[in-house]
Structure 1
């Protein structure tokens, strides 16, 4: 009997083990509400990194699963994520058709408004989204083109490569007032504070979304989140496993190849690598360089005027190599440790206040360690910037002709001596940043507190900074503390927020930046009233610049003029913003409205380069010890100062209408204007001509702009047509001018259209155009997609920026191949 019992026990245990080891598969089909298959939808097992994507028929299969209960998360860009429960107790379990509902604008989640995840309707800021679908459907290597379709943004195209934005006025050719952040990391140059733009290390296929914040957000992000913020978030390899290869071509000799590979190695470990190579040729355009040339008798040219010359040895070719790699480690089910590295090498033409720069092999790199959990966030990263051969084309051209006039041969004048007047810009700078953050809830109050540290090490090897000829870094440290608390008042729908930032900078001192807001959150709409402040801080270039042998010097120490007058050192520019916003839906989920109105008070402007006068001291140092070209200039200095008080105001309106699940339209309109006390000559007469006018304020923005887009997004075919109108407007930025003829004098020369100004040619106002872009594509199957795009469809004559060409028609085609991850099936 005992023996029989033992045998039965062994048989039962064996059967139990066999049963426990049984495995099967879960399958299904993902469709939209019209019944059409959704290709590439993601199906993940909740709490794990195991998942898959749907095929060309919208079908998926999860294989090699142990018997048991599973929770599946089904997601697709533009649709609401659905949670499905499934019990696997057979070799194959079919879930049938799983229908996804389109995600509404009120359900979108953002992080840039409060530095943590929240619904866009609950964020205390005006935020615009560029989604994964938007990026996927543009057949260009440059996703920055999509910024032209964002409400409230002044989009600027300076060529095939150069794209940029300004928000709510005060634009210039050297604009550092719009902060760029990539994955929580400052994406700005160390010395100039300018956004990376084309220097970025990211590639298009790795971008999950871009959040654009309109208006100041310095309370959480610090100096230079002044006019706005562009926050780019890349994809997590655990939810985007697989390999993507893109190959594109277009006019202007454009070729691009991009690769992204993401792989889950285990429940704990995943990684991704991305890379890009792009090349082409800029639009044909030669900027005029005006030069004083002397004849044999030592006089100006025959007509007694300054002569115009073409840019010396202009190279219109551009080339980009960039890449990133990241390792994701799951410390716990809710906490991640992420290590990433990125680098880029870029060659292209860039417009500046004084003509164009020939960017040659400018290298950017970063290494970034980040810890993220539901309550804690911490990061530390190093950003490097290096170039050896970048130069100012304008200044090098002038020096070339100076050398010819001095009797040198053409070969000698084109050689190393052509850079002798500091035309060359060398950069060997780096920056360290660190941040810690904690968030929690206490007695119904949600709060976020954090601290940031930054230390800049700028070095130009003596080419454009006061860095001791490159023997010592310009070493500057700053700290910031920030916090935000918010409270929801019961079921009333009211939510109040208060935020602050306290910064201390080694050069320009302490600043406190507050923000408060009240939201009324309803089921279908949200109203928002906010008051916030922002600051635009002087950059290292503003404080310690040394350009063209000391003719332009930074104002980090203050100046003493020859007559004893003191010129104060620079301080931060300040802005106070009152804003009323609304976001809601109407017409039975057909129409979505996003609108805001704002009023800004701006003070202590950071001026463009301006004449300071004849200087005797910079700080405590005699000017002859600082200005390397003292023998020629005699202490005459151009620099930057604070001045003025201007009020700006405007409205932004965005309408999204959905005719069907697949067909939609978007309409954007913005109005902007300003007012200034014309009787306040002491503060607002910047150029000291006895009159306060637009040449003192330099708003440089159109009063009106609008756009209209139509989109079709089917499971196979997609397409869009987007039309943008920008009212013409006058633009002045240091040497640069683009304005209609009028009774004004700029830098000593009358403002006349299609004529020479003092240092540049005035082609007339910017804007004043209607631009049409067309894009379309086709998903051949779940692996292959072809698409094409034409920008400026009708080849209109468009000039969007100074020191830049007229933008002609651009077209490109792209083939994209997507292969599922090794662990996806």
Structure 2
């Protein structure tokens, strides 16, 4: 009897529940009355997604009236009141104004862009669809104040506000909260291990210092790439792309790009996705033949036949040199009265062109990512994510040298738990250099394999000064045994050199299997404070474990491990009818190799106008950058000098054995330590450079210390508004200006250390040290340390965006940025600003020019500027670049076809001396179900 009653009760409850809920059906359209796919319809904790025909069905309570909310990223949210169970629901979603769109990066809480306490640039789904560039990542360069470092076809990185070369360690890039910095490099490898074009949902970029919330290295700015959730974006999406790259040096070459995304929602509690993408392309060939001029530190036209001191930008093996004036005494003894060889005339041997040292100019990249998502309560109040992503392939990278990256690998794995008010995530990043090698060392050892440098010098001298031959004839004679590219002998030597580690005799191969693990969390107390304010606390911990076998770091005999942590808090409060918003943040970070850094930020926003659509803002913020693991632990003999990182732990590891030969007395053994490099060194130029000595004095003692973190303090003002014009037209305006003060910039200082004796003070050496200099018993180093020069940077930007004639989308922005500094380093320091002073960017498009047919055009002009990097310094010409695309949708095939081109004016341009000139690129793509 009891069982029957229990069954009856359960049946009755089920009937009551089912009767208490009903299904509402409807259709979602865009503003052109086309079916809207994947719009989200919400009622409380219940939600549904519209299908390819815009149709949806959602369960709601039959207790009317009810409210459903229809939304999609990049579109205005619509609220619909349900007053009847048989109500016909038709919803039109209109594209959102840019400044109305919601971001989370500026304050770690959702807020409209217009309300952000600092400058922010955003690239959403609509921007990605309208993108004219070859990929969404390339398209970011069209945003205001954003620049792209295009080191090669495959390697590109984003930066803001200057001070970066291709080693972009002052800018942080996050993918779903994971820092994409490679463990050995401490800067992001761009999109090589990033996000598939099919999986990217939005990009948020904060120009300027952001260390108060994001910690170390958020110095120039930070970029957050957010991917699509498999709960919201389901199905199979495919991208097929191909085209032609055209360059004078490389000719016309075809490239291929394919991507697949699969997302599936198994239930309201469980979903998963996987992404696969692959591209293959011919790299932009680098053939800069200009000569590095030592005295003027400029790139000048030159050739092997015109000067013995030829050091071509993209030739390798000509880096070592010998002063021909050393032959003067011998020349006078053989031919008395002969003209004296100038003291500054150097001889370099003939190097190899870059194309001779690459077994292929092909760039390849394979990316894979996958994630599992679990929502125990079947809503967004709690979600657990397990994700992994990896990238591998072949590429070119330009740092202190040019490097051929072969079979590289970068991988990340993440576990994250997040809820309405918190998140905790941990991830592990690892990389493998594969079969990568250094082109400079490869060239040096190939030349040495044909003829030892000493024999080469003697052969040249005899022909040039005893046999009175020309520079060309003398060089040709010295090169008579040169290994010729393509021959069996050349290939055999090349293979041996590139498979032998740098740490071994005659090798150029890089070994790198470094990793780091990272843990961080954040909690927002707003709900516990009855919405009085957003009060957040958070923290992070990271441990680096570099492993290079001495090829990059000083870890051949002793492993390296570096730990760092940070804690922060932020309070954000709205006052005066929510017109005034105050934001205050404070963070403390500590690395075991450096003193702690405190990073405060304070921002004020004030809203004007009836609709609060005119926002004034002011902020003070700080940033810092810990020196990279390379800058801390580098210990690499380049063949000319030794590069040394100057942390105390690295200096402790350095111990040289010097064999000092004295004619008539034999060899005396001495020792040079890391302490000597700091405490017993002279500025090299004060010993050997006559012009420097005349201007600054001789024998200047180096007083540069162990390396410390860089620090920046920034003041910023801004104005954002949405102006409501006639005919329902809106004009978005964004104006910002900043002023920054930079201290302790990291740079390379050239020092010389006597093998014995003491440098007492500037101009004062004891007898032993004086003897060491006279005998040439010294060691030269490039010490990585902090500049004493204070740098100031400043700039402003103006951006406007509107629509006219209903469907035409138009935007224009202008950016000015510059810097100044007072030299306190005897001319040895020059900031790697590497950014044009003036930049103008224009965009015009119409997604509905005709039915299912649209176009978009992007143009940008960049001013000329100087490029400074360890590899090369030189001027970069101004350039105008025009990108364009036409697109056509076929809804019945769920397909979009796009044909377009980048740099379609066709004038090739250099991003930096030594990189390949960028030519034209034309593409055609087919996107299915996206």
Q: Same fold (TM over 0.5)?
A: yes
Find the residue that maps to 2:887 and give its secondary structure: strand
Shift in Å, 1:635: 2.9
The CA distance in 1 between the partners of 2:357 and 2:597, in whole Å, is 46
Residues 458 and 616 of structure 1, relative CA distance in 2, 3 Å threshold: farther
The CA distance in 2 between the partners of 1:303 and 1:481, in whole Å, is 54
- How many residues are matched? 747
Aligned equivalent of 2:240: 247
1:96-495 pair list within 5 angstroms: 96-138=89-131, 142-251=135-244, 252-286=253-287, 287-289=314-316, 291=318, 304-311=347-354, 312-314=356-358, 315-332=360-377, 333=379, 334-354=381-401, 356-406=402-452, 409-418=489-498, 419=500, 420-421=505-506, 423-441=508-526, 442=529, 444-469=532-557, 472-491=558-577, 493-495=579-581
1:618-767 pair list within 5 angstroms: 635-643=779-787, 644-677=789-822, 681=823, 683-687=824-828, 696-714=830-848, 716-739=852-875, 766-767=876-877
The CA distance in 2 between the partners of 1:505 and 1:662, in whole Å, is 53
The CA distance in 2 between the partners of 1:16 and 1:645, in whole Å, is 74
- In the alignment, is the contact (CA less than 8 A) between 2:732 and 2:802 conserved in 1? yes
- In the alignment, is the contact (CA less than 8 A) between 1:328 and 1:339 conserved in 2? yes
Find the residue that maps to 1:40 and give its secondary structure: coil
Aligned equivalent of 1:745: none
The CA distance in 2 between the partners of 1:24 and 1:353, in whole Å, is 67
Cα-to-partner distance string for 1:82-140 (whole Å, 9 max, x where unaligned):
23354785xxx563531223312332111111122222222221100011122233376
Aligned equivalent of 2:591: 505
Shift in Å, 1:160: 2.6
- In the alignment, is the contact (CA less than 8 A) between 1:778 and 1:786 conserved in 2? yes
Cα-to-partner distance string for 1:452-491 (whole Å, 9 max, x where unaligned):
000111101221111125xx53110011001111221231
The CA distance in 1 between the partners of 2:286 and 2:78, in whole Å, is 53
More displaced, 485-494 or 539-548?
A: 485-494
Find the residue that maps to 1:473 and give its secondary structure: coil
Aligned equivalent of 1:584: 721
- In the alignment, is the contact (CA less than 8 A) between 2:398 and 2:871 conserved in 1? no
Structure 2: runs of 5 or more not aligned: 245-252, 288-313, 328-340, 453-480, 484-488, 652-674, 682-700, 757-775
Residues 178 and 767 of structure 1, relative CA distance in 2, 3 Å threshold: farther
Q: 1:798 aligns with which of 909, 914, 919?
A: 909
Quick check: which one's helix share is greater? 2
Aligned equivalent of 2:667: none
Residues 412 and 103 of structure 1, relative CA distance in 2, 3 Å threshold: closer
- In the alignment, is the contact (CA less than 8 A) between 2:40 and 2:49 conserved in 1? yes
Kindly indicate whether residue 199 of structure 2 is the aligned counterpart of residue 83 of structure 1.
Answer: no
More displaced, 215-224 or 324-333?
A: 324-333
- In the alignment, is the contact (CA less than 8 A) between 2:395 and 2:406 conserved in 1? yes
Cα-to-partner distance string for 1:650-696 (whole Å, 9 max, x where unaligned):
1011110211552111111011122333xxx5x35341xxxxxxx63
Shift in Å, 1:54: 4.5
Cα-to-partner distance string for 1:508-567 (whole Å, 9 max, x where unaligned):
121111111111023111111000111121010001012246711212125524458553
**Normalised TM-score (structure 1):** 0.84
- In the alignment, is the contact (CA less than 8 A) between 1:29 and 1:37 conserved in 2? no
The CA distance in 2 between the partners of 1:533 and 1:293, in whole Å, is 42
Aligned equivalent of 2:891: 781
Aligned equivalent of 1:568: 705
The CA distance in 1 between the partners of 2:522 and 2:703, in whole Å, is 42
Cα-to-partner distance string for 1:595-639 (whole Å, 9 max, x where unaligned):
1011111111111x342322769xxxxxxxxxxxxxx99532113
Cα-to-partner distance string for 1:54-91 (whole Å, 9 max, x where unaligned):
43xx54143899988775442344321223354785xx
Quick check: which one's strand share is greater? 1
Rg larger for: 2
RMSD over aligned CA atoms reads 3.2
Kindly indicate whether residue 878 of structure 2 is the aligned counterpart of residue 768 of structure 1.
Answer: yes
Residues 292 and 144 of structure 1, relative CA distance in 2, 3 Å threshold: closer
Residues 15 and 329 of structure 1, relative CA distance in 2, 3 Å threshold: closer
Residues 72 and 421 of structure 1, relative CA distance in 2, 3 Å threshold: farther
- In the alignment, is the contact (CA less than 8 A) between 2:30 and 2:36 conserved in 1? no
Structure 1: runs of 5 or more not aligned: 1-5, 618-631, 688-694, 740-765, 820-825
Shift in Å, 1:386: 1.1
- In the alignment, is the contact (CA less than 8 A) between 2:841 and 2:859 conserved in 1? yes
Find the residue that maps to 2:561 and give its secondary structure: strand
Aligned equivalent of 2:602: 516
The CA distance in 2 between the partners of 1:647 and 1:435, in whole Å, is 33
- In the alignment, is the contact (CA less than 8 A) between 2:118 and 2:603 conserved in 1? no
**Normalised TM-score (structure 2):** 0.75
Aligned equivalent of 2:644: 553
- In the alignment, is the contact (CA less than 8 A) between 1:404 and 1:410 conserved in 2? no
Find the residue that maps to 2:744 and give its secondary structure: strand
The CA distance in 2 between the partners of 1:722 and 1:799, in whole Å, is 19
The CA distance in 2 between the partners of 1:231 and 1:553, in whole Å, is 33
Residues 94 and 277 of structure 1, relative CA distance in 2, 3 Å threshold: farther
Residues 393 and 53 of structure 1, relative CA distance in 2, 3 Å threshold: farther
The CA distance in 2 between the partners of 1:525 and 1:341, in whole Å, is 42
- In the alignment, is the contact (CA less than 8 A) between 2:155 and 2:192 conserved in 1? no
